Structure 1
Amino acid sequence: MRKTIIVSNRLPVKITEKDGEFSLQASEGGLATGLGSIYREGNNIWLGWPGQEITDPKQQEKITRQLRQMNLMPVFLTQEEINNFYEGFSNETLWPVFHYMAVYARYDQGYWDAYYQVNKKFRDIVMQVAEQGDIIWIHDYQLLLLPGMLRAEMPEISIGFFNHIPFPSYELFRLIPWRAELVEGMLGADLLGFHTFDDTRHFLNAVSRILPVNTSANVVSYNDRTVVVETFPMGIDFNKFSALGNDPGVKHQLQNLQENFQQERMVLSIDRLDYSKGILQRLQAFELLLQLHPEYVGKVVLYMIVVPSRDTVPQYKELRDEIDKLVGNINARFRTLSWHPVQYFYRSFPVEVLAALYNYADICLVTPMRDGMNLVSKEYVASRNNNDGVLILSEMAGASKELIDAIIVNPNNIGAITRAIVDALNMPLPEQQRRMKQMRQLVSKFNINHWVKLFMTRLEEVNEMQQNMLARRVNQETAVLIRQQYRKSKRRIIFLDYDGTLVGFQSNIDMAAPDPDLYQLLRELAAYPGNDIVMISGRKHETLGEWFGHLPLDLIAEHGAWQKTKEGEWYQLPGLTDKWKQEILPMLEQATDRTPGSFVEEKSYSLVWHYRKVESGLGELRANELMNTLRYYTQEKGLQVLPGDKVIEVKNIEINKGKAALSWLNHKKYDFIMAMGDDVTDEDIFKALPPKAITIKVGSQVSAAQYYLRSHHEVRHLLRTLKTVHLEV
């Protein structure tokens, strides 16, 4: 029976040890709540580290049995693995780089080796329970290699991956020595999810720059698979936080807060100890508030909770010391006998206390330097049942893309945070309610269950799309059908594009000359009785003539402007003019002057701007600019602008590979027609040929062609199999 396997670094349990005995308690974190609807059902399972080093095999066996009753499965890690994989590579390499704090990153080979081995350990345990037809959903930055490792073992299985922290821009990601291995691992998934569109864009940019892959919009074509990259902003359990306000325990805590603070206005700050959270800047902003606005002395308090985290690591210990010092300085400078400006707690609190604080605080101050989503902001909003209160939110938190009715600030701008606090303290109740109502509606709708459902539905859609694409690939079965049609027919015509179809692309266009193997293949195909082989290319007719004039091939050059039968001489399409070039050429030359690595190629009746050698990104930018300019000038001149693979071509509208191919079909009756091409211009052939024709797109699955192949190597292989039919006959 089909099941869903959730994989994360940690299991949703708390393990406590007493006198050598371990006891388990289910965790109530946001992710555990949302995924509870999945992993607790049927034979579904959640797999991860239980959070403790357990080395005794008997204890491991006992805990495994207990966990299996909760639909959980443990991955036991040694202390050394925890140190190097989790504390090391995950938190000292990936965490700082992904949070734009690359100055703290350590690129240690030992860390990487441990990260690789632990991902392998996770793979082996997933393999023990995974079966064909299952869905695997992998979570977060500790397991970036796992999708690829599983894909290698189970090519047909459905894999989703979600990254819960930001994904950095390419300029930062490229600093990691193992960057290619990381993105290759991630691309093992069918669907990759990120919190924000920025993260999605950064990932797509990194992939296209690091690997030789094709990306189109949010789709990556990798290893003959379509990988979809989407944005899924994560939500919270809205109903839980909204209902907590009526909980007796929370009401009791709320009463205590009212007695302790009475007339004081509360600014709430809750964070884990981390340099990405902007805690020091928040304190500096509050200090500036008391300095510039003495009227708030004794009337406003900053209630700051910092949850302990990795404080044995030097950067974290240093950060904690700085927080302690700054809190001490503010309190020493501004406190009165009855008032402490900063109420600072370095510990975690139960959810009832947090809910009471969310309900009581006038302002929630959430200003991380960088954060994947930040659920504290959403928890505060969900708790405000009276639609009052003000949220001040960093523009660097993923939540800021959704909670646009918060006061949005740059966390590096201390003055702006101070002004935001003043604005929040003075915001009229109707304005508070207008903003909070909008945010509550959004947090209520896009809750954790909505997020889970959205991701799983999209994963199913992606798998369906992949199956449709797979059906179009020329596989062994399809190749047999093509050979059968070829064998039965008496008169055959095969249209072949050149660049990208029979040979790979070269940065220097003159270096893509035919090799002996290709000459031999074409010679044997063309020599067989009943075969007409037509080379149909955008290349100059002089070049095609030089390369293939000695072979018994028909040649169509410059997309159809020049044509030549195997027995005849070159002739050009009548009625063509090149007078337009004098107006268009300066535009292309101007683009060339602004773009190092680009050049202009002039053909008889077309001009081509090449940018294959241009820096990635810059070439695309200039190409888009040039396309927009050219479209404006060519609309009424009978010209066509064609974007190709790292080229833009301007040509007479009468010149068309489709028309040229049809003119060849008018000469004779063929009972086998096949066309293969890789470019936009080849789409004209695919559309023009009759329905019985076999049309094959090379290198892309998106096409009007019936089938597709991945590369020119596969094209040659298919043509060789046709050649072998001659030997069988």
Structure 2
Amino acid sequence: MSRLIVISNRVSAPTGSTSGAQGGLAVAMAAALRANGGLWFGWSGEQTDQFTGHINFQRAHGVTTATVDLEEQDVQEYYDGYANRTLWPLFHYRIDLAEYEREFAGGYQRTNQRFADTVRPLIEPDDLVWIQDYHMFPLGAELRQRGCENRMGFFLHIPWPPRRLLGTLPGARALVESMFAYDLIGFHTEEWLESFCDYARQDMGAVIEDGVARLGDRSVELIACPIGIDAAAFADMSKSVNARLAYRRMRDSADGRDMIVGVDRLDYSKGLEERFLGYERFLIEHPEERKEVFLLQIAPPSRVSVESYQRIRQSLEGLSGRINGEYADVDWVPIRYVNQGYPRDQLAGIYRAAKIGLVTPLRDGMNLVAKEYVAAQDPADPGVLVLSRFAGAAEQMGDALLVNPYSAEEMADAICQALRMPRDERVRRWERLMAGVQERDVTWWADRFLAALRRAEVDA
């Protein structure tokens, strides 16, 4: 059997810990690498004064990782710059926040060339190569230039923007052309796949038939393949000692009130300002529910060196303070706003204690919090998932209460409906949601993509 070479911006080495701190992608990659052998290559997260290409190999729990350090300039231009100040906002439909700087684009290309130079000697002729996410769009083309003829797949974990939005990116055509170096490209949803096809067809003249895009002498297969979670493990985790302690802690602190929970990385794409305003509208329209409910928003900071992330933190602090100041009483505050992360086993207990899971991003490639919330519920008395229709997860999770996160009224109505939903309806909705989460779990995702990659025709 051929080995698997996974390449991503960051590498998450398996820890073997029972705390469940690893995310869904790390779980999937570790399982695939154990089954196929091979290694996981990427940036270590550390900086060096001069890039040497030195690789740090480690092996833990059946998985080999290979990481490199980057120079400070690489981090500023490739990661903080082009990846997170250009591509991230643009691909989440926020062209007002996208920064188009030549230095960013140059650093992005240079760093991908460095990745290619470093990982190429590690790739053997029969290996499958699987590259992850927007940090590494051009890596496949760089590897082809270095003589790599292997089957090579790419998976995008964020949305693909509509054609007109992508057209605002300088060098958009060259970026998309570079993706034709892959044999297979995966997206979470049909919508993101169709947006890619629209640009390739209309702006580049690609011919797309039967799930294959052809441009010149290159062809690439396209697949919609939504990622999942390790549903069985997460459900078990919700009954672990740490989860039960977190559940009890939340129920005790709730003091008989219903808890609404949101868990999101602190990011403008997650719709947190709109969520707070929708919750405030609920408090205004349903004064009888005040002091009977509270919102727990967990939002660990990220990308703290990027100005737009600093602004969203300041805005949320001001907004939560204003709402609490206006509606709180001596024995109740409407919003508990927490800027730190928690291990996944504790989160499982928090999810289980929540009457409502509020997952309302303005745009999201998938959003696994929605699936984790479902997996953590008590089957006899489950909570209700309120989900943005603009999250990739909405395509699979139609039994959630789907809302337009831009509409405070719609969000307020959904919160009210969820709080008053009879138990039998909650159970019916949860059973259908849970069946989908279990059927299309993270192993299904990885197996489906790798099976398609093994079948893909190689045009190298």
TM-score, normalised to structure 1's length?
Answer: 0.60
1:32-111 superposed matches below 5 A: 32-41=26-35, 43-55=37-49, 64-66=56-58, 70-111=63-104
SS of the residue aligned with 2:186? Answer: strand
Q: Say which of 252, 259, 281 aligns to 2:274.
A: 281
Q: Equivalences for 1:417-456 in 2 at 5 Å?
A: 417-456=411-450
Output the CA distance in 1 between the equivalents of 2:63 and 2:32: 12
1:123 aligns with 116
Shift of 1:126: 2.1
Residue 407 of structure 2 corresponds to residue 413 of structure 1: yes
Q: Distance in 2 between matches of 1:422 and 1:226?
A: 50
Tell me the residue number matched to 1:135: 128
Q: How does 1:13-32 map to 2 (within 5 A)?
A: 13=13, 28-32=22-26
CA–CA separation in structure 2 for the residues paired with 1:266 and 1:361:
5
Total equivalences in the alignment: 455
Cα pair distance change 1:43/1:259, threshold 3 Å = closer
Q: Based on CA coordinates, which of the two structures has the bigger radius of gyration?
A: 1
TM superposition shift of 1:26: 11
For the residues of structure 2 that align with 1:158 and 1:132, how far apart are their CA atoms?
A: 9
The superposition leaves residues 341-390 of structure 1 with CA deviations (integer Å, 9 ceiling, x where unpaired) of 10110111122221111110000001100000000000001111415110
Structure 1 range deviating more: 158-167 or 212-221: 212-221
Alignment of structure 1 residues 308-347 onto 2, 5 Å: 308-347=301-340
Indicate the residue corresponding to 2:10 in structure 1.
Answer: 10
TM-score, with structure 2 as normaliser = 0.94
The answer (yes or no) to whether the contact 1:13–1:50 under 8 Å persists in 2 is no
| Partner in structure 2 of residue 680 of structure 1 | none
How far, CA to CA, are the matches of 1:397 and 1:35 in structure 2? 23
8 A contact 1:148–1:184 mirrored in 2: no
Alpha-carbon distance in 2 for matches of 1:48, 1:122: 8
Distance 2:206 2:238 in 1: 51
Contact 2:180/2:218 (<8 A) preserved: no
Q: Which amino acid aligns with 2:392?
A: G
Q: CA deviation at 1:70?
A: 4.5
> Structure 1, residues 561-608: CA drift from partner, whole Å, max 9, x if none?
xxxxxxxxxxxxxxxxxxxxxxxxxxxxxxxxxxxxxxxxxxxxxxxx
Amino acid at match of 2:400: A
Work out whether residues 261 and 296 of structure 2, in 8 Å CA contact, stay in contact via their aligned partners in 1: yes
Taking the aligned partners of 1:245 and 1:204, their CA distance within structure 2 comes to 40
Matches within 5 A, 1:235-384: 235-384=228-377
CA contact (8 A) 1:12 1:26 kept: no
Q: How does 1:490-639 map to 2 (within 5 A)?
A: none
Q: Does the CA contact (< 8 Å) of 1:38 and 1:44 recur in 2?
A: no
Q: Structure 2 vs 1, CA of residues 26 and 243 (structure 1 numbering), >3 Å: closer, same or farther?
A: closer
- 2:82 is paired with a residue whose SS is helix
2-structure distance, mates of 1:65, 1:98: 33
Q: Distance in 1 between matches of 2:51 and 2:221?
A: 41
Paired with 1:10 and 1:121, the residues of 2 have a C-alpha distance of: 15
The CA distance in 1 between the partners of 2:140 and 2:372, in whole Å, is: 31
Match of residue 186, structure 1, among 176, 179, 194: 179
Higher mean C-alpha deviation, range 254-263 or range 301-310: 254-263
Q: In the aligned structure 1, how far is the partner of 2:152 from the partner of 2:47?
A: 28
Asked if the contact 1:12/1:27 (under 8 Å) is kept, the reply is no
1:14 to partner: Cα distance: 9.4
Q: Which has the higher contact order (CA 8 A, sep 6+)?
A: 2
Q: Distance in 2 between matches of 1:282 and 1:227?
A: 39
Q: 1:65 to 1:400 in 2, by over 3 A?
A: closer
CA contact (8 A) 1:204 1:215 kept: yes
Map Cα deviations across residues 583-635 of structure 1 (whole Å, 9 max, x no partner): xxxxxxxxxxxxxxxxxxxxxxxxxxxxxxxxxxxxxxxxxxxxxxxxxxxxx
SS of 1:255's equivalent in the other structure is: helix
Which residues of structure 2 form unaligned runs of 5+? none
* Distance in 2 between residues matched to 1:204 and 1:51, nearest whole Å: 34
How far the C-alpha of 1:112 sits from its partner, in A, is: 0.5
| SS across alignment from 1:253 | helix
Q: Runs (4+) of structure 1 moved beyond 6 Å?
A: none
Indicate which of 391, 395, 398 corresponds to 1:397: 391
- For residue 457 of structure 1, the aligned residue among 438, 442, 451 is 451
Which segment is superposed worse, 2-11 or 33-42? Answer: 33-42
The offset of 1:239, in angstroms, is: 1.2
Aligned residue in 2 for 1:492: none
1:330 CA displacement: 1.0
SS in structure 2 opposite 1:47?
Answer: strand
Of 210, 213, 219, which aligns to 2:206? 213
Q: What SS class does the counterpart of residue 307 from structure 1 fall into?
A: coil
Give the distance between the partners of 2:77 and 2:368, measured in 1 at CA.
Answer: 28
- Give CA deviations for 1:391-436 in whole Å, capped at 9, x if unaligned: 0000100000000000001111110000000000110000000000
Unaligned runs of 5+ in 1: 16-24, 471-729
* Amino acid across the alignment from 2:394: S
Q: How much has 1:212 moved relative to structure 2? A: 3.5
Deviations 1:139-176 (A, max 9, x none): 00000001122223336310010000000000000111
